[in-house]
């Protein structure tokens, strides 16, 4: 029995774009890329990503932020925090990021994205240099002390299961393009570190 609904139809034809990548890049005045922020809950991913977004916007770049909590209310509202759901969460975000990059934007994504393999598959789907991994490296003790949503407390009490860093894995990035330590410098300095990477590598002027 063939499940027709799940088969990719041969009637689906990929439309060629009438505006080229080069034309989009020239109009935007910068190269497109995804700034993939990864790190523990409470590490500062969203805060640094939004600070970077503001700096880039002020420089005249076309930008957007995809944020964990927001996306989980909409597009990924059907997903929880099992390993399988986290894999699907990141797969979908990867696809959405690819569309934003195709549109010529500098898109910042702020998801824990705990598994090396999932981050690697998003990278593999983009062209060279279009995936910039930004590791928000904040010790778990600091994240737990910050505990902005009270989730670490709940995880320690057993009220939340599968909490990253407690009873669910976070696989460390091995060679991130940018390595940010929020416990050692200000948010502004962290954001500047990312913006400087983009300048030094010719994404922006």
3-state secondary structure of 172: coil
Nearer to ligand PPS, 28 or 88 (CB): 88
Nearer to ligand PPS, 63 or 76 (CB): 76
CB of 165 to ligand PPS, least distance (A): 8
What's 175's DSSP letter?
S
CB of 82 to ligand PPS, least distance (A): 9
In whole angstroms, what is the distance from residue 34 CA to residue 203 CA? Answer: 11
> How many residues belong to the chain?
205
Cα 52-54-57 angle, rounded to 5 deg = 110
* Dihedral pair phi/psi, residue 48, rounded to 5°: -70, -40
Q: Which residues in this chain contact ligand PPS in the complex, by CB under 6 A?
A: 41-42, 45-46, 68-69, 72, 81, 86, 89-90, 111-114, 149, 151, 160, 162-164, 168
Q: Who's near 120: CB < 8 A, 6+ residues apart?
A: none
Q: Is 154 exposed, middle or buried (0-12, 13-18, 19+ CB in 10 A)?
A: middle
Nearer to ligand PPS, 111 or 203 (CB): 111
CA torsion 71-73-74-77 (nearest 10°) is: 100
State the residue number with the nearest CB to ligand PPS. 68
Identified catalytic residue from 43, 46, 108, 113: 113
Q: Who's near 123: CB < 8 A, 6+ residues apart?
A: 36, 131, 133
- 41 catalytic? Reply is no
Nearer to ligand PPS, 151 or 204 (CB): 151
**The token pair that represents 170 in the structure block:** 């976070």
Nearer to ligand PPS, 131 or 163 (CB): 163
Catalytic residues: 113
């Amino acid at each position: 029995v063939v499940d027709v609904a799940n088969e990719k139809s041969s009637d689906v034809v990929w439309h060629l774009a009438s505006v080229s990548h080069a034309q989009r890049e020239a109009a935007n005045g910068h190269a497109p890329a995804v700034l993939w922020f990864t790190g523990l809950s409470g590490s500062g991913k969203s805060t640094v990503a939004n600070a970077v977004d503001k700096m880039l916007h002020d420089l005249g770049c076309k930008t957007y932020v995809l944020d964990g909590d927001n996306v989980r209310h909409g597009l990924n509202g059907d997903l929880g925090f099992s390993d399988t759901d986290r894999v699907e969460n990141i797969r979908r975000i990867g696809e959405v990021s690819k569309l934003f990059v195709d549109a010529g934007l500098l898109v910042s994504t702020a998801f824990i994205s705990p598994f090396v393999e999932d981050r690697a598959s998003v990278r593999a789907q983009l062209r060279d240099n279009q995936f910039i991994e930004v590791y928000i490296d904040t010790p778990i003790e600091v994240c737990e002390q910050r505990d902005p949503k009270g989730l670490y407390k709940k995880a320690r009490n057993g009220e939340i299961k599968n909490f990253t860093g407690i009873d669910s894995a976070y696989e460390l990035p091995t060679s991130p393009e940018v390595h940010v330590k929020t416990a050692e410098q200000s948010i502004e300095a962290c954001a500047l570190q990312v913006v400087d990477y983009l300048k030094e590598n010719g994404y922006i002027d």
